[in-house]
Structure 1
Amino acid sequence: MSAGSGADRRGPHVQPSGGNGPGAAGAKQAGGGKDKSTAGKNHRPGGAGKPAAGSAREVALDVLVRVEQQGAYSNLLLSSSLQKSALSREDAGLVTELVYGSISRMITLDYVLGGFVSKGLARLAPWVRSLLRLSLYQLMYLDRVPSHAAVNEAVNIAKKRGHQGISGMVNGVLRSVLRAGELPVLPESLGREERISVLHSHPLWMVRRWAAEYGVEAAEAICAANNEPPASSVRVNAAMISRDALLAQMLEAGLEASASLVSPYGIVVKGGGNLALTSWYREGCLSVQDESSMLVAEAVAPEPGMRVLDCCAAPGGKSAHMGELMKDEGWIYANDLHAHKAQLVADQAQRLGLGCIATGSHDALRLARVLEPESFDRILLDAPCSGLGVIRRKPDLKWRKQPEDVASVAALQAELLQSVSGLLKPGGVLVYSTCTTEQAENSRIIAEFLKNNPGFASVSFSSPVWKRLEGTALAEGEGIQLLPQHFGSDGFYIARLQRLL
């Protein structure tokens, strides 16, 4: 999902004040704003929390309120709201920018607003709080139309949804922000990690965790990268068309496209819209997939004729990629706990013309009971994880996750890895992957497994994947760690383990 609004995200950010936002850095102060903004378009009322209707900012406001009040997932709600709206492509892009930007920068926005809202943000109605956030986001981070337009739009929405007092308060707060200058202004007493939390709008526990694992500089780089708009990338189906040929077609069609530096099967596209709506997608020439995710099937390195197990396969991108690499020769058993998710894998295989993929629905912890021991040449365990490597795409993760979530999922990962390892043939390869930055879920899982299973050895650093990424990605324990700032792709961990003869 990309911002798509044509406006630039820029500048600093803040922390939730008054306890109504997720995770605070622990400082309070007055802030200020920029005098440039993305700004205002037409609008129409539609009560807060009701299905999206009206202008771009009203649609964004409704989504933000429902995310905060109902715990809705921003990506799913945003998609459905845009489908119901009659907004132009430009305005739909603005809605996307406002929703993801306001959620991603919530600590910073609330920190600044806390210095201007005398009664405190926590005492405001949810729709008023969200209106102030999305309006301040425009003033601080977007540079497309005059600031007064964003302020006027916010005031008009407040008048239609509330009363004169609310519109007056919204007007006063935003105009005070404009007069204040650069924001946020941080007290000298803030420590380095607290400053990162406020400026880059991440819960303090995440900043401290990453600083402990990677160093303070890398922690700040992770946070900054998480606030950047995600790239749009596709994986070429090499069984149907070469990357060079598809890239040439895209360039001829006027798309701004380039070959991925991360994956030899990837193409990065800027401003191309939803590529899943193109004939290339319908005809099976490409799949939409993050560049880091493309590395997983390459690390598995399945060959034609092999038997391959994908333990947690949905939605099917990695299974499909393995089928393409195998030239549709052999057998892939793509398993998922939920039958409707396994169907997503089957749908992908059908679209791509892959007959080698069979799907099933089992608890991955029970696969060792339903499948023959030592019967697979390759196994992929793309394990359930905290997902902290994909915050750029799913900013609500910053506010949904807690430190204890990492510990609980790590216990499951270790159990899954031990359980499925017995299904691998001697000489076979098992790939363990996650889309997280947390070493409790990554290198520590692998270290413990290798300690308890001397019949396995790491071969992560003899793969073409490592040879391509070495010098940028990190060698964490016995696996490869990509961080969001390394290539502008998702944070991912990949460990390649071989069962000894």
Structure 2
Amino acid sequence: MNIRALAANVLAPLLRQHGSLSTHLPDALVHCPEQDRALLQQLCYGTMRELFRLERLAQHFLRKPFRTQDLDLQALLLIGLWQLRASRIPAHAALNETVSATEDLNKAWAGKLLNAILRRYQREHSEVEAELANDPVFQWNHPQWFISKLMHNWPDHWQDILSANDTQAPMTLRVNKRLLTRKKALDRLSEAGLEAKACAYSPDGITLKKPADVAALPGFAEGALSVQDEAAQLAAGLLATEPGDRVLDACAAPGGKLCHLLEQNTQLKEVVAVELEPERARRIHDNLHRLGLQLECQVLTADATSHDWWDGQLFDRILVDAPCSATGVIRRHPDIKLLRQGEDIAALAGIQLGILTNLWGLLKPGGRLVYATCSIFSQENERIIERFLKQQPDARHQSIDADWGEARPYGRQLFPQVDGHDGFYYAVLNKQADDTQA
């Protein structure tokens, strides 16, 4: 199949609010010739990254929107516009291959329409984009609800956040200190011809100058390196575990923070990971097996809002990696801008508070809980902690003394950084000891 048609079939369900890039693209890659897989990913991710600008352009040129059954043509038009606007693909190739893709979609009747629109864009792009320049959705390439909410949450940062969201995130690695030091890892990467630098905030982090296939990373297969954003690597240090601790990682998939915790601590009494979705729980097992850590952790497929899975033994440390809007990782998952809706945030906040409240009862007096999300909205972050503290008289907020992120009344907020870490939030809560232990 024409690669543009294959990309349109990946994106069309997203335009219908069905699935995501991570659910539809892998199957398409299996059916794509190996030499064209990089192009397919480029077309899908590039188009989704620029989606809201492209949608505004499409609306300008279309007399009427495509019917629901023809959203594959809408996706194909967006792919064509992206190629002409933002890619290095020669214009004649972008035009010819995009128009030809209508035949592979069994909709050859639309070829003339797409050809006319794309050629008009070539001729009129300067005037049209100047006309759209004052449209905030076109200017900032995000849905209006997102822009408005961000302006309200972060009046001093919203423009930088929106700009960072439209960049490609760097590839960041985590060094397994059980096997080698960060300096040794940097040396091995250099010997392999891969330029890299140490992360500024995570003592175990390395950022590559250019992304690389994990198969090319020296030591990856042996578990010496893992792919993990720098912001996510901060969780293990905040837990501050001690030998003999019993630790819970709730909502643990895909297991990056869990594996980091185990890599750093060889004398923990017991580590339990809980994940609701069976498919995501399998990803935890895969990561544990690659790193040889499968015997050091118990993985339970269970609901963190219940106690059905709990054996009654309290935990010294709990990590609540709460399900969230994922608005801090849009650079890695640009379809979040399309798939997430404003009303989702309040619903997620209810789930987050429910998980936090439920798991608090599993923490020992004197124990520590770390609350984390990859969201940039305070409604899912510091406001959750504020609400929780009002409900729990034995909970104490502990400020985080760090040089990363921005200190908030509760916790610290990290914003996505160009060529740096993702957006993330952390808060540390300590459980007041019993009077008998005080």
| TM-score where L is the length of structure 2 | 0.90
Matches within 5 A, 1:365-404: 365-367=305-307, 370-372=310-312, 375-404=314-343
Is the counterpart of residue 318 in structure 1 residue 257 in structure 2? yes
* Change in CA separation of 1:264 and 1:169 when aligned onto 2, cut-off 3 Å: same
Contact 1:334–1:342 (CA<8 Å) still a contact in 2? Answer: no
* Residue type of the alignment partner of 2:139: L
Contact 1:225–1:484 (CA<8 Å) still a contact in 2? Answer: yes
Contact 1:368–1:422 (CA<8 Å) still a contact in 2? Answer: no
Displacement of 1:430: 0.6
Out of 377, 380, 385, the residue aligned to residue 441 of structure 1 is 380
Is the counterpart of residue 432 in structure 1 residue 371 in structure 2? yes
Is the counterpart of residue 418 in structure 1 residue 365 in structure 2? no
Contact 1:65–1:127 (CA<8 Å) still a contact in 2? Answer: yes
Give 2:436's aligned residue: none
1:446 match: secondary structure: helix
Displacement of 1:256: 2.5
* Change in CA separation of 1:162 and 1:76 when aligned onto 2, cut-off 3 Å: closer
2:10 match: secondary structure: helix
Q: Distance in 2 between matches of 1:386 and 1:457?
A: 26
Give 1:499's aligned residue: 431
Moved more, 127-136 or 322-331: 322-331
Give 1:75's aligned residue: 22
Q: Distance in 1 between matches of 2:15 and 2:237?
A: 39
Contact 2:17–2:339 (CA<8 Å) still a contact in 1? Answer: no
Give 2:77's aligned residue: 132
Q: Distance in 1 between matches of 2:107 and 2:388?
A: 62
Aligned length: 431
Q: Distance in 1 between matches of 2:423 and 2:221?
A: 28
2:201 match: secondary structure: coil
Give 2:50's aligned residue: 105
Q: Percent identity?
A: 35
Displacement of 1:135: 0.9
Q: Distance in 2 between matches of 1:242 and 1:227?
A: 33
Out of 57, 62, 67, the residue aligned to residue 4 of structure 2 is 57
Displacement of 1:162: 5.5
1:309 match: secondary structure: strand
* Residue type of the alignment partner of 2:236: A
* Change in CA separation of 1:251 and 1:359 when aligned onto 2, cut-off 3 Å: same
* Change in CA separation of 1:459 and 1:126 when aligned onto 2, cut-off 3 Å: same
Cα deviation, 1:413-447, whole Å, max 9, x if unaligned, reads 11211221122223221100011111111101111
Contact 1:276–1:288 (CA<8 Å) still a contact in 2? Answer: no
Out of 257, 266, 285, the residue aligned to residue 205 of structure 2 is 266
Q: Distance in 2 between matches of 1:206 and 1:121?
A: 25
Out of 178, 183, 187, the residue aligned to residue 248 of structure 1 is 187
1:370 match: secondary structure: coil
* Residue type of the alignment partner of 1:413: Q
Q: Distance in 2 between matches of 1:154 and 1:376?
A: 57
Q: Distance in 1 between matches of 2:316 and 2:268?
A: 14
Q: Distance in 2 between matches of 1:379 and 1:206?
A: 31
Q: Distance in 2 between matches of 1:325 and 1:263?
A: 13
Give 1:225's aligned residue: 164
Q: Distance in 1 between matches of 2:212 and 2:62?
A: 38
Displacement of 1:378: 0.9
* Change in CA separation of 1:409 and 1:388 when aligned onto 2, cut-off 3 Å: same
Give 2:421's aligned residue: 489
Contact 1:328–1:356 (CA<8 Å) still a contact in 2? Answer: no
Out of 145, 150, 153, the residue aligned to residue 94 of structure 2 is 150
Q: Distance in 2 between matches of 1:369 and 1:118?
A: 57
Moved more, 419-428 or 403-412: 419-428
Q: Distance in 1 between matches of 2:336 and 2:246?
A: 35
Which structure 1 segments of 5+ residues have no match?
1-52
Displacement of 1:306: 1.6
Which structure 2 segments of 5+ residues have no match?
434-438
* Residue type of the alignment partner of 1:483: F
Give 2:393's aligned residue: 454
Q: Distance in 2 between matches of 1:496 and 1:273?
A: 35
* Residue type of the alignment partner of 2:306: R
Displacement of 1:253: 0.6
Displacement of 1:201: 1.9
Contact 1:114–1:121 (CA<8 Å) still a contact in 2? Answer: no
* Residue type of the alignment partner of 1:200: W
Displacement of 1:335: 1.5
* Change in CA separation of 1:483 and 1:270 when aligned onto 2, cut-off 3 Å: same
Cα deviation, 1:271-320, whole Å, max 9, x if unaligned, reads 44331675622211112212211111221122332211112212211111
